[in-house]
Chain A
Amino acid sequence: MSREEHIREFATAALAEGRVDYFIGWQQGYNSSEVIPVFIRDAAEVEQLVWNPLCHHNLVTFLKRNMPDPPDAKIGVCVKGCDSRTLVALLQEELVDKDKLYVVGVPCDGIVDRRKLEKEFAAEMVAIEFPERGKVVVTTRLGETQEFAQDAVLLDVCRLCRYPNPVYADDTAGPLETEPDRKHTQPDWTDIADYENFSDDDKQAVLEQIYSTCIRCFACINVCPVCYCWDRCVNRSRQPELVSQKVGAKENLLFQMIHMMHVAGRCPSCGACDRACPVEIPLYLLHRKMNKEIYDMFGFEPGTSLDEKPVFQTFRIEDEFGD
């Protein structure tokens, strides 16, 4: 049985037994090149649920405060490995009621970066198919077809992923993925090495350039599953204006920095912000850098164990920081 069938089966059962009011999964968008979140309220609609390497949305976002509708809904949700870490981060702080939650873990072997594919073509992609594991076939509106190896078009976050299997789930859709070797070693930070090697001036220049395109739509903040005061965000408050609302490279960088500081210890670099950004700012870069620093400081990886507390919500007397 495929993972997709497993998900549908779990959803059907949960809805039929009334364990959930609605079930959040993934669905095909307006064509097969897009996958979107879907909210299933009726067991008859479970056929809409899909699972393929385009299911990039972190559905934990829809569990945040003021996202569920009705607010006290019992919710079923699908999580990938990285998504489950954000869920664990929320559970660590008891921001989601575990009893109202039914979690289906979906082991994942990497999500395809749709934007990488998009850049291969001038014409619009209208279909992305996965005829077999590891193969991606793209069709454009002009009828061109091209095949890619899945590994070559993975999201950057997936390349160094150490948690392909959900760290927390009530049920798991199909067999677990083989744990990669890097699971058992230290995290690999090679993806940010280039950036780290820049001089301070270069860093600043690079950041200013990439953040200058930010349009302050706040998709990054609202889509972030662990940014739980999203609807009262200091960055978005216009009166009082707590953070400058002007749009400019430096102001944008400031607001991103505040966002980052506020999710420190909870952000597992799932990359949801990066994928949501309509102007394709590589937000992931600074978040990875921050996580590296946190790892250096505490040896801590956010959202990996229910028993831990996020590092900034706790302390050890023997911490050795400062002078």
Chain B
Amino acid sequence: MADNGNGQGKTRLTSADVVAGATTARAGKQAGNPYLPEVATIVEIVQETSNIKTFRLRFDDTQVQKDFSFKPGQVGQLGVFGVGESTFAITSRPTDDFVQFSVMRAGEVTKALHNLSVGDKVGIRAPMGNGFPVEEWKGKKILFVMGGIGSAALKATIEYTLAHLDDYKGISILYGATAPENFTYQYDVDEWQKRDDIDLTLTIDRECDGWQCEVGLVPAILEKMNPDPAETIAVLCGPPIMIRFSLVSFRKLGFTDEQTYTTLEKRMKCGIGICGRCNVGPKYVCVDGPVFTMAELAELPDEL
């Protein structure tokens, strides 16, 4: 066009630098195109349960791999080219030299992921979301309550707190699954059982041969455990029904909504707060979440 003699400096970003987010936007612009996935290669696949696989991935760009960092509780978009992207919690340790996601075979993308083998290529956009405020929790007891694949969302956080045990007054884990073979990260569970610095309670839905631990639904076991709400942070993740009833139990036990955290899952597309799909009222799960306190959720419309 006539006025565009120079192709440069057309953005009004600087002149309209009034909104608080401008800096972020500028940073985003420098960071490049947030829609473009980084290509990564599957380096290892662990079959966790009959329908859950854990994928260990390494970015093809070594610099990206080196620079990659995230906070416990953050998520990423893992995609198969030609099928699509889906959101998964990052389950590796921040110190790992790979990125790890645990995927339950459920829909199109997860099915395609399950069909991949070591050496295959995927696309990753990560990290996204806020993560758990592990810094704020220092000096408190942490109680993880999780069910089924919900453990994937908390795995990185558990690993983090275990790596920084001195910062916390104690770690308790209540983990429920439908049957003994459905515990994801069986190897972790075995290890936690051996350790005496973790208070681990396992439960399954229905009695079965050879089972030594609790039997019953998570909320019921939670009430039986009767944890002391004082100086404790409760972190909850699992199927919606479990969350709903565990929350009732937590309230019964005297936990306030402010000390109860959960992490949400929603259908997401862009992952950067634009596409308008994962919102619960004014909050976007992809950027304002996925971690919320129950007090924050209480403010939002009932669209979980």
Contacts and interface: CB of A to CB of B under 8 A. Distances in A.
Direct contact of A and B (CB under 8 A): yes
Interface of A: 239-241
B139 interface: no
Contacts of B107: 239-240
B113 to A, nearest CB: 14
Contacts of A239: 84, 107-109, 267
Nearest to B84: A239
Contacts, number: 8
A240 B108 CA distance: 6
A239 B108 CA distance: 7
Interface in B102-144: 107-109
Interface string B230-269: 0000000000000000000000000000000000000100
The list of the 8 closest CB pairs from A to B, nearest first, reads A240-B108, A239-B84, A239-B108, A239-B107, A240-B107, A241-B84, A239-B109, A239-B267
Interface of B: 84, 107-109, 267
B46 to A, nearest CB: 26
A240 B110 CA distance: 11
Contacts of A241: 84
A240 B109 CA distance: 9
Given A239-B84, A240-B108, 6 more contacts: A239-B107, A239-B108, A239-B109, A239-B267, A240-B107, A241-B84
B85 to A, nearest CB: 9
Q: Tell me the interface secondary structure of chain A in the complex.
A: loop
A241 B108 CA distance: 9
Nearest to B108: A240
A240 to B, nearest CB: 4
A265 to B, nearest CB: 31
A240 B84 CA distance: 9
B190 to A, nearest CB: 36
A63 to B, nearest CB: 27
A306 B108 CA distance: 41
A244 to B, nearest CB: 14
A241 B267 CA distance: 15
8 contacts: A239-B84, A239-B107, A239-B108, A239-B109, A239-B267, A240-B107, A240-B108, A241-B84
A314 B108 CA distance: 34
B168 to A, nearest CB: 39
B109 to A, nearest CB: 8
A47 B84 CA distance: 52
Nearest to A240: B108
Contacts of B267: 239
A240 B106 CA distance: 12
Nearest to B111: A240
Contacts of A240: 107-108
A241 B84 CA distance: 9
A228 B50 CA distance: 37
B80 to A, nearest CB: 12
B51 to A, nearest CB: 18
A296 B109 CA distance: 45
B198 to A, nearest CB: 38
A239 B267 CA distance: 10
A240 B82 CA distance: 11
Contacts of B109: 239
Nearest to A241: B84
B272 to A, nearest CB: 18
